[in-house]
Amino acid sequence: MSGEAQRNCRVVHRLTRRVRLLAPPLVRNAERCYILEILLRKRPEISEVRAVPDIGSLAIHYDPRRLPEQRLLAIVDGLLDNLIACPPAKPAAAVADDTPLQECSLAIEGMSCASCALLIELSLRRDPRVQVANVNFAAQTALVRGTLGRDDVFALIGRLGYRAQPIDTLAQRRLLVEREKEQLARAKKRVIVAAALTAPVMLLGMAMHRSPALRGLEFALATPVLFGPGREIFARAWQLAQQKSANMDSLIALGAGAAYLYSLPGLFRPQHHVYFEAAAGIVGFVLLGRFLEERAKGQASEAIRKLIELQAETAVVLRDGEEQVVPIDRVVVGDLLRLRPGDRIPADGLLVCGSSAVDEAMLSGESLPVSKKPGDTVHAGCLNGNGTFTLRVTAVGANTVLAGIVRLVDHAQGSKLPVQKLADRISARFVPAVGGIAALTLGGWLLARAHPATALAHAIAVLLIACPCALGLATPTAIMVGTGEAARRGIYIRNGEALETASSLTTVVFDKTGTITEGKPAVTDFIAVEGVDEANLLARLAGAEAGSEHFLARAIAAWCLARGAEPAACSDFEAIPGRGVRAHCQGLPMLIGNAALLDEAGVSCSAQQPQAAAFAEQGKTPVFVAVDGRIAALLAIADQPRQGAREAIASLRRLGIETVMATGDLAAVAQHIVRQVGIERVIARATPAMKLELIRELQQQGKRVGMIGDGINDAPALTAADVGLAIGGGADIALEAADITLAGGDIARVALTIQLSRQTMRIIRQNLFWALGYNVVAIPIAAAGRLNPMVASAAMAFSSVSVVANSLRLQRG
């Protein structure tokens, strides 16, 4: 039974022990996906199920000997029938609510560790109105999708003791960037104050004195450390305790607080041990680690910061014939803006007068300025050259291309890889588990007849050493740096899964026109059949091709217009994918395309075939023209390979990637191109359906396939590929539906994308190994009494900083 035989799903990719389905009933329905996963996992023949609600995808790993594919598909189809028939399992109030789904992006202030992010995320997901909630500790942002409004989201987060801020516009983001700089300055000040007070306390503690006066001095110095620079740690721990929750602040407050409270009797009893130096040292090292971590995270999010800084803060608006300088938030669609040499363009718009050269490197990655004249589009964030012009605003705020790019990078950095979800599950159980281990450590040492002070110190060391921050930072910091570095190089990655999958690609399939070649074909030859009125034929050609967006059609139309042809009136236009176009011009049927199109229509072009073959051998694409059932002309169109295409293909081959080109062109033309650029395999005369079939065939062979095309004709293949890469430019970057968009048409970025994704995944694996290994080794050492609390606190801070520093190596890759 094939995928097409199912009512609710279809097979898009199959291997021996795995099948991937697309099920429309699952699209954007996380609840159905979750329930279906649970039901399928109950079957012993199924080892793994992974659903992606955004696209309704379902990947199932199963044993085909015990459960044949036909039976598996029938089971899935039946379960989907039942799920469709069942009402949503949400409270009645939520079901009755007709509020449309809303997506809210926000920044969160006050998160001190990865546990904070996990706590906020879990609290949001418990609300029945929330469908999706992703909190990124490294970026200090959150993405929430559901039926609740922005104020409700902010209130939910506020009740946990954190502060939410909107980041809808670039101006709001700029304010947050400034606030982050202020917070970093305050964190630095706290560290300096804590260090100045803690150093003498630690020196006195090392002396192991019993002087009441010196103990009083320790108390006097340690107290302001805990309740001055360290006040936020205790305040948040208390707030979470009231919510019956806990995070890393809870562990730190418990450890430092226990050491401090245990020491108080020692002020009056000389024989009682004091740990004021441990309490102050714990807080001091934690504050130092967080300051270093914040500074490193600032470097990790440098790409977003640089994009935000491209947004102009003010604009010169023409109102009532006068120029007014206004804040960018007061500019509206339809306003006229005046741009002078060196100005940063504040909004998207169309030139209405004047001209200039505009630096569009932020969009295309190309350093050469682009000439602009009336009627051309310009985009916010680009830099005006030496000309002056006036533009009419077409998009402002969150609707500009620059805001779209920031949003794109944001989504990629905020997304979670499957490996991160594992880390989240570990972190969710970590804090209570550590509390239990610390209690066992305390009890064990007391049973072993250790001094209560010694037992307490060992328990505190366990609490401090077992920091889940490094584990929580392992993946998001690497994704932030990797996607940010990619954006800096003109590679826009939509989500973390695309980044992960790109690292394992084995085959890349290229479209030809506009991908391998420049996409600027031109007519090089025109041979009309004897007796044909050339002027009339050119008018028909111009009229028929005016309705097509294909590269070749535009080249023919431009060539006809350049020869003074007036487009004839045409009707019944139809584009036939991979063949050409059909239309009625001046009352007569007309065909323009390849030989296959004419053959299907019963029009003989055998007399022109030798010349067409000669054109093809020269790397030119032959195009036949037939009017009223008879051949009328033969054209040749040539398109040159992109500069650097050969080097780009060679880079892929060095990475061990197989390269394939699939094109609708003739075999001779395709072979000419692949010989020039060095591609290993070519599929000629391929329709969009044939390209789709090629992708599936390669996947069935066990290959991980990337498809790169122009995003229009190649949409089916781009969607079916494991990773779809689209050639983009200008505004296309923010709108492209592919997984990855390559700005400026530089296919050398394909190899760079794979290299970056491989490096990012390698860094993530290293981070997770060290973060998990650190805890596995450190907790038993602390429980065995081999670490004092201050050393444990310092080691905990170092572990988080080392993970971020390791991720930053991607910037040097």
Mapped onto helix, strand or coil, the DSSP state of residue 287 is helix
Q: Is the pLDDT of residue 624 over 90?
A: yes
pLDDT at 758: 92
Using CA atoms, how far apart are residues 36 and 57, in angstroms rounded to an integer?
12
Tokens (6 digits) for 83:
């799920």
Q: Which residue has the higher pLDDT, 122 or 383?
A: 383
417 half-sphere exposure, CB direction, 13 A CA radius? 27
Mapped onto helix, strand or coil, the DSSP state of residue 682 is strand
pLDDT at 106: 86
pLDDT at 547: 67
Q: Tell me what the mean pLDDT of segment 131-157 comes to.
A: 83
> What would the pLDDT profile of 382-414 be if each residue is shown by its tens digit?
888 888 999 999 988 777 877 777 766 666 555
Find out whether 789 and 527 touch, Cβ atoms under 8 Å. Answer: no
Find out whether 625 and 635 touch, Cβ atoms under 8 Å. Answer: yes
Determine which one of 511, 639, 714, 722 is catalytic. Answer: 511
Query: Which residues have CB under 8 Å from 728's CB, separation 6+?
Result: 492, 711, 736, 741, 742, 743
Question: pLDDT class for 1, splitting at 50, 70, 90?
Answer: very low
Given the DSSP bridges, would you call strands 18-22 and 10-14 parallel, antiparallel or unpaired?
Answer: antiparallel
Contacts of 119-126 with CB under 8 Å at 24 or more apart are 119/160, 119/240, 119/245, 119/247, 120/157, 120/160, 120/162, 121/424, 122/428, 123/156, 123/160, 123/245, 124/153, 124/156, 124/157
Q: Please state, in angstroms and as integers, the Cα–Cα distance from residue 118 to each residue in 421, 424, 425, 803, following that order.
A: 11, 7, 9, 18
Using CA atoms, how far apart are residues 390 and 383, in angstroms rounded to an integer?
14
Q: Tell me what the mean pLDDT of segment 92-104 comes to.
A: 58
pLDDT at 49: 84
Instruction: Identify the CA nearest to 148 among candidates 101, 115, 191, 116.
Output: 101
Q: Tell me what the mean pLDDT of segment 288-313 comes to.
A: 67
Share of residues in the chain with pLDDT > 70 (%): 82
Q: Tell me what the mean pLDDT of segment 269-290 comes to.
A: 78
> What would the pLDDT profile of 313-340 be if each residue is shown by its tens digit?
889 999 887 888 988 888 889 999 999 8
pLDDT at 656: 93
> What would the pLDDT profile of 462-500 be if each residue is shown by its tens digit?
876 765 566 666 777 787 788 778 877 878 787 777 888
Using CA atoms, how far apart are residues 733 and 702, in angstroms rounded to an integer?
31
Q: What is the pTM of this model?
A: 0.56
Q: Tell me what the mean pLDDT of segment 579-600 comes to.
A: 88
Q: Is the pLDDT of residue 789 over 70?
A: no
Residue-wise DSSP of 392-415: EEEE-GGGSHHHHHHHHHHHHHH-
pLDDT at 418: 59
Q: Is the pLDDT of residue 711 over 60?
A: no
Give the highest mean pLDDT range of 4-18, 77-91, 397-411: 4-18
pLDDT at 631: 92
Q: Is the pLDDT of residue 605 over 70?
A: yes
Using CA atoms, how far apart are residues 97 and 95, in angstroms rounded to an integer?
5
Residue spans of alpha helices (H) in 590-636: 595-600, 609-617
DSSP label at residue 328: G
Using CA atoms, how far apart are residues 552 and 512, in angstroms rounded to an integer?
12
3-state SS string over 147-176?
Answer: CCCHHHHHHHHHHCCCEEEECCCHHHHHHH
Query: Is 511 a residue of the active site?
Result: yes
> What would the pLDDT profile of 494-552 be if each residue is shown by its tens digit?
777 788 889 999 999 998 877 888 767 788 899 988 888 888 899 988 888 876 767 67
Find out whether 559 and 523 touch, Cβ atoms under 8 Å. Answer: yes
Amino acid in position 443: G
Total Cβ atoms within 10 A of residue 533: 11
Q: Tell me what the mean pLDDT of segment 107-116 comes to.
A: 76
513 half-sphere exposure, CB direction, 13 A CA radius? 28
Mean pLDDT of the chain: 80
Q: Please state, in angstroms and as integers, the Cα–Cα distance from residue 220 to each residue in 127, 216, 257, 277, 790, following that order.
A: 46, 6, 15, 11, 19
Query: Which residues have CB under 8 Å from 621's CB, separation 6+?
Result: 521, 552, 615, 636, 637, 638, 639, 665, 666, 669
Residue-wise DSSP of 222-264: HHHHHHTTTHHHHHHHHHHHHTT---HHHHHHHHHHHHHHHHG
Question: pLDDT class for 92, splitting at 50, 70, 90?
Answer: very low
Among 76-80, 142-146, 714-718, name the one with the lowest average pLDDT. 714-718
3-state SS string over 423-468?
Answer: HHHHHHHHHHHHHHHHHHHHHHHHHCCCCHHHHHHHHHHHHHHCCC
Share of residues in the chain with pLDDT > 90 (%): 11
Q: Which residue has the higher pLDDT, 378 or 788?
A: 378
610 half-sphere exposure, CB direction, 13 A CA radius? 1
pLDDT at 89: 43
Q: Is the pLDDT of residue 713 over 70?
A: no
> What would the pLDDT profile of 344-369 be if each residue is shown by its tens digit?
898 899 999 998 888 876 665 555 67
Question: pLDDT class for 579, splitting at 50, 70, 90?
Answer: confident
